[in-house]
Amino acid sequence: MKPITKYTKNNDINIAYQVVGQGDIDLIFVPGWVSNIDMMWLDNNLSVFLTKLSLFTRLILFDKRGTGLSDRVNPLCSLEDRVDDILSVMDAVGSKKAIFFGHSEGGTIASLFAASHPERIISLITFGIFAKRKYSIDYPWAPKANEREIFYQTIRKEWGNGQKMGLETIMPSLANDPSYYTWFASYLRSAASPRAALALAKMNTETDITGILKNIKTPALVLHRTDDIDVNVEEGKYISNLIPHSKFIELQGNDHCFWVGDSNSVLIEIEEFITGNKPLNIINKQTKRKTKYSKNDIEKTMLNNFQYNLKIEAFAKLCGRSLSVFKRDFKSQFNTTPYRWLKAKRLEYATLLLHENDLNINQVCYESGFKNNSHFIKVFKEKYHTSPNQYKKRFLNS
């Protein structure tokens, strides 16, 4: 199910987190530069990726202090502060030990955590990681000072402008998709203010974990795409060579964001590293079986995932079926279409949230899986002949 956002405190700082999945192993996702854990579920590419991770783990998400739904504090904090924030989240969800999956800057933080708290980490996975963001002779792939200053100026003047923030360097495969750029620009704005984004970018420039990599004793999987424009693949190789028990895997592609491009290849490596088994659909391809899909129980899968704002095609994939077979099997089992079933189930859950939670209408809309407020209010009125707000008031006054 789509996770409810909760909060824990590190001293007086509120850290937002979510937990999804029932797997036996905890997987903590440490996001890159800035994030918003609610907005993650509004993007089909990212939400599908996270959902698939939650099928074999208990996935723990959080926003770093100063970003997303966590307290917007003075952004001048240290990596050690962020490590402490993660410990607070782990304690809040009862996680004694976890696998860490760090993306970009998040990989840097996850690596520091692994070196400083080996008793709380099982293994480390990184994607598109860097050791530092300041050029030196022994680390020639990092940006030079003038390049970073240009980046700072862009943040100051164009923060949240998808066409000006240079997003083609982190997701070039979507360079010709203006609608995705618009969404990602909104994601960035929801994740940090211009001042916070600038401060965090400067903090990244001063970060250097080269000295602690040799202290990481847990198994590590370092994933990097060959033609990553934002972080050179040689940086991943460099880092992997310094971590004693590390495995480096170079993946094809040029996107710095793991959920775009060939995201399935990333999932395959992560699942095999965590479970020790190749995903079933890959085994099927290798053994040349005729069946391409590994069918999952439709009812269980839909009940676990109806709150995600996914396309019908994504639900078909989660159920291990082609779109046509999914629709046919769904109709046979539920005697209705997936669209109608999803609308009814989401409305049912929305009424439950209106009864039992302190959420506002906008929060209920997104927690229930609807794509936007106007659509939610329209279908709610069609079903209950009143608006969600009026429905809640009547319930509270009854």
Q: What is the pLDDT of residues 76-89, one digit of tens each?
A: 678 888 899 999 99
pLDDT at 89: 97
- CATH number among 3.40.50.300, 1.10.287.10, 1.10.10.60, 1.10.600.10, domain 293-398: 1.10.10.60
* Between 171 and 280, residue with greater pLDDT: 171
pTM reported for the whole predicted model = 0.72
Task: Please name which of 206, 199, 257 lies closest in space to residue 228, comparing C-alpha atoms.
Answer: 257
Residue 184 · residue 167 · CB < 8 Å: yes
Task: Please name which of 97, 71, 79 lies closest in space to residue 10, comparing C-alpha atoms.
Answer: 71
- Residue 213 per-residue DSSP state: G
Average pLDDT, the chain: 86
* Between 250 and 356, residue with greater pLDDT: 250
Average pLDDT over residues 7-18: 93
Of 92-101, 226-235, 351-360, the one with minimum mean pLDDT is: 351-360
Residue 210 · residue 203 · CB < 8 Å: no
Residues 6+ apart with CB under 8 A from 183: 42, 43
pLDDT at 75: 56
Whether 320 has a pLDDT exceeding 90, the answer reads: no
Report CA 25 to chain centroid distance, whole Å.
17
Per the structure block, which two tokens stand in for 190? 């929801």
3-state SS, residue 175 = coil
| CA atoms of 231 and 233, how far apart (whole Å) | 6
| CA atoms of 4 and 17, how far apart (whole Å) | 9
Strands (E), 128-215: none
pLDDT at 90: 97
Of 34-48, 207-221, 238-252, the one with minimum mean pLDDT is: 34-48
| CA atoms of 186 and 279, how far apart (whole Å) | 34
Can you give the residue ranges of every domain in the chain?
A: 6-132+209-285, 293-398
Give the Cβ contact number of residue 234 at 10 Å: 12
Of 1-5, 291-295, 345-349, the one with minimum mean pLDDT is: 291-295
Per the structure block, which two tokens stand in for 191? 């994740």
| CA atoms of 213 and 170, how far apart (whole Å) | 25
pLDDT at 116: 96
Backbone angles phi, psi at 165, to 5 degrees: -85, 5
Average pLDDT over residues 92-117: 96
pLDDT at 164: 63
Whether 290 has a pLDDT exceeding 70, the answer reads: no
The CATH code for residues 6-132+209-285 is 3.40.50.1820
pLDDT band per the 50, 70, 90 thresholds, residue 280: low
* Intrachain domains 6-132+209-285 and 293-398 with the same fold: no
pLDDT band per the 50, 70, 90 thresholds, residue 286: very low
Average pLDDT over residues 162-183: 78
